[in-house]
Chains A and B, each alone.
Chain A
Amino acid sequence: MNFDRHLIRKDSLEKLFDILKQNNKVIYAPVSKNTKVSFKEAGSFSEITTGYVQTAQSSKEVAFPRTEKLLDYTKNREGISVKGTDIKDFPDIVLWGVRPCDATGIGEMSAIFNWDYKDEIYNSRLSHVTVLGFSCSASDEYCFCTSVGGNPGNTEGSDILFTQLGKEGDYLAEILTEKGSAVVTLASGLFEKDGEIKKEIFLAEVPVMFNKEEIRKKLEKFFESGQWVEQSLKCLGCGACAYVCPTCACFDIQDEAHGKSGSRVRCWDSCGFSLFTLHTSGHNPRDVQSQRWRQRIMHKFSYMPDRLSVYGCTGCGRCSRACPADMNILEHLISIQEATV
């Protein structure tokens, strides 16, 4: 299907925001708090922050919330009544301001939620999301999207991709899907002819630092390497990397009971926690941090491509930025590529 390219004036973005709000869309956009930028429900265009390289957290919450009720239950004389989450109830969400690396992350995370079991709740939430991506005009030493098959102007995963044409410039809007077209229809007056713009010159430079296929091949023989221990010595075993990652999907299920009724809640979990794989028997197959670190890398660069045909990393660099111990995944991947087995 031939999709359109349009020009949208810088000042029209606010008008677009307002039109979407008037049409009952919930808009998640980058909002600053305590010097960190995260995706939050934005009530007005003025709340949106710009001028940053990357948000602290990904936008995965729109489909995979940090805490999510799966069902409510009540015990009474007749038995137990269960009320599941109504998947028809989810709001229409516009995700405003995601980077191409976040947009590709959606596809990678969806592979996990649709692997052997199709997660209805996740899929339903995602079906209500329209992704308005914004290309990157800046990058930093943590970014490595180009090493994992992405780039700062990648259209994959977005419904519309906006590219700003210079610092104070107007935007190229690439309309990529039906959902994107629907947005244009809502605000057709704001989208003009595009005039053959070459977006590449306005994109950030992200040098390729490694080859993901080489890493995957290397990992097949790397399980027993001593490098895992060396690399993970400074890891503190928190969950920061998993939680900020756009593709990490591990979750815990908690029952929160109050007497005769309660809820079953899904919440985020991290393979980095020391008790992540603790069995009820007391045995823990990954009871040392190096095993957990190895699992993290292999899951993203070996197990996922093997089983799900997608890699589990978009090169957004958030894990490295968030890590309190500076584990820098890019460094470690490069050293894996360079290692002799």
Chain B
Amino acid sequence: MDDLKKRAKELLETSAVKVVIGYEQGTAGKTRALFAEKPEDADRLIFDSRCVQNLAVYVTKREAKDKGKMAITATLPVMRSIIQLASEFQVNDNNLLVLGITPGSELMEFGNLAEVETFVHQYQIEIDASYKEKLDKLDKMTPSERWNFWIDELTPCFKCYACRAACPMCYCIRCTVDFNQPQWIPVPSHELGNLEWHIMRAIHLTGRCIDCDACFNACPLGIPINLLTKRMIEDARANFGGYQPALQGEHLMSTYKPDDKENFIQ
């Protein structure tokens, strides 16, 4: 992607940014993150349909932030993550420049995060049809069948936390599982430990997840944990009209409406 390389080079040559976070060729036909710090590094930047890793996970990392102002190549999911992070005060216009990549794979540079937000708001967060089918299938099961399904699916999980590490929204320096006074979520990867970890992960992402599938892609054991986060997105739509990352305003779970509807409180 030549415009991207050119622009990245310019930004580095003029020291407008100290590092450009993008994608480069990886192993075995995959792509991976590139931290271009010297102008010649920018020659390694690529972009194509394989580039699905959510790079926004790096903008909250000390190692990247400490370098100075960052630029990041951002597809729509990455842009959404960035706006969500900005709304949670984790990034701002001073430390991040967004080199957007439109759904048509064109470079679109943004002057500030407000412009990114305008772009992002043109698109709704929509669960892919194949996943809607999977969710439907689960909905049609009895609770008992669903329990068995999840206990079985989660059994391979060995709590490597790759899902947590790959998610841009999991930036807590000390995760809830890392507390042991008291130990809320059992550490060992037995059935209880796995179940409760995945429930809490989904719950802590409610209203914040932008459906990038980074968690599922990161899982070394192919466990479909993104079904949980997608379910939360669908529930948010069904109950509260859905949500969008937004620089101003309240988040789904940090606000309420006096007339929020439910049918289970006596």
Which chain A residues have a beta carbon within 8 Å of chain B's beta carbons? 33-36, 38, 56-57, 66-67, 140-142, 229, 232-234, 236-240, 242-244, 252, 254, 256, 265, 267-268, 270, 273-275, 288-290, 320-322, 324-326, 328, 331
Question: Which of B159, B165, B220 counts the most A-chain CB atoms under 10 A from its CB?
Answer: B220
B221→A274 contact, CB < 8 A: no
A238→B63 contact, CB < 8 A: no
B220→A322 contact, CB < 8 A: yes
A326→B160 contact, CB < 8 A: no
Known contacts A274-B173, A324-B166, A326-B30; is-contact A34 B221 (Cβ 8 Å):
yes
Q: What residues of chain A lie closer than 8 Å to B122, measured between beta carbons?
A: none
Q: What residues of chain A lie closer than 8 Å to B217, measured between beta carbons?
A: 324
Q: Does any Cβ of A come within 8 Å of B195's Cβ?
A: no
Q: How long is the Cα–Cα vector from A142 to B161 in the complex, in angstroms?
A: 23
Q: What residues of chain A lie closer than 8 Å to B95, measured between beta carbons?
A: none
Nearest 4 pairs between A and B by C-beta? A324-B218, A34-B222, A238-B165, A326-B32
Chain B interface size band reads: 35 or more
Q: What residues of chain B lie closer than 8 Å to A229, measured between beta carbons?
A: 63
Known contacts A33-B156, A233-B64, A254-B183; is-contact A239 B221 (Cβ 8 Å):
no
Partner of A267 from the list B166, B189, B220, B223 (CB cut-off 8 Å) is: B189
Known contacts A234-B33, A275-B178; is-contact A331 B220 (Cβ 8 Å):
no
Report the minimum CB–CB distance from B45 to chain A (whole Å). Answer: 14
Q: What residues of chain A lie closer than 8 Å to B64, measured between beta carbons?
A: 233
Q: How long is the Cα–Cα vector from A244 to B159 in the complex, in angstroms?
A: 12
Partner of A238 from the list B58, B160, B221 (CB cut-off 8 Å) is: B160
Q: Does any Cβ of A come within 8 Å of B125's Cβ?
A: no
Q: What residues of chain B lie closer than 8 Å to A256, measured between beta carbons?
A: 186, 188
Q: What residues of chain B lie closer than 8 Å to A240, measured between beta carbons?
A: 160, 162, 218, 220
Question: Which of A36, A232, A252, A320 counts the most B-chain CB atoms under 10 A from its CB?
Answer: A36
B28→A140 contact, CB < 8 A: yes
Nearest chain B residue, comparing its CB with the CB of A34: B222
B63→A142 contact, CB < 8 A: no
Q: Does any Cβ of A come within 8 Å of B257's Cβ?
A: no
Instruction: Beyond the given A234-B33, A240-B220, please list 5 additional residue pairs across the A-B interface where CB-CB is below 8 A.
Output: A34-B222, A244-B220, A273-B161, A325-B53, A331-B27
Q: What residues of chain B lie closer than 8 Å to A265, measured between beta carbons?
A: 188
Q: What residues of chain B lie closer than 8 Å to A331, measured between beta carbons?
A: 27
Q: How long is the Cα–Cα vector from A56 to B35 in the complex, in angstroms?
A: 28
Report the minimum CB–CB distance from B186 to chain A (whole Å). Answer: 6
Q: What residues of chain A lie closer than 8 Å to B222, measured between beta carbons?
A: 33-36, 56
B33→A325 contact, CB < 8 A: yes
A233→B35 contact, CB < 8 A: yes
Nearest chain A residue, comparing its CB with the CB of B32: A326
Contact indicator per residue, chain B 30-50, by CB within 8 Å of chain A (1) or not (0): 111111000000000000000
Q: Does any Cβ of A come within 8 Å of B57's Cβ?
A: yes
Q: What residues of chain A lie closer than 8 Å to B160, measured between beta carbons?
A: 238-240, 242-243, 270
B165→A237 contact, CB < 8 A: yes
A238→B162 contact, CB < 8 A: yes
B135-189 residues with Cβ-Cβ distance < 8 A to A are 153, 156, 158-162, 164-166, 173-174, 178, 183, 186-189
Report the minimum CB–CB distance from B152 to chain A (whole Å). Answer: 9
B187→A254 contact, CB < 8 A: yes
A141→B188 contact, CB < 8 A: no
Known contacts A275-B174, A289-B63; is-contact A239 B189 (Cβ 8 Å):
no
Known contacts A141-B27, A289-B63; is-contact A38 B188 (Cβ 8 Å):
no
Contact indicator per residue, chain B 186-211, by CB within 8 Å of chain A (1) or not (0): 11111001000000000000000000
B35→A57 contact, CB < 8 A: no
A238→B161 contact, CB < 8 A: yes
A57→B183 contact, CB < 8 A: no
Q: How long is the Cα–Cα vector from A36 to B217 in the complex, in angstroms?
A: 13
Nearest chain A residue, comparing its CB with the CB of B57: A236
Q: Does any Cβ of A come within 8 Å of B26's Cβ?
A: yes
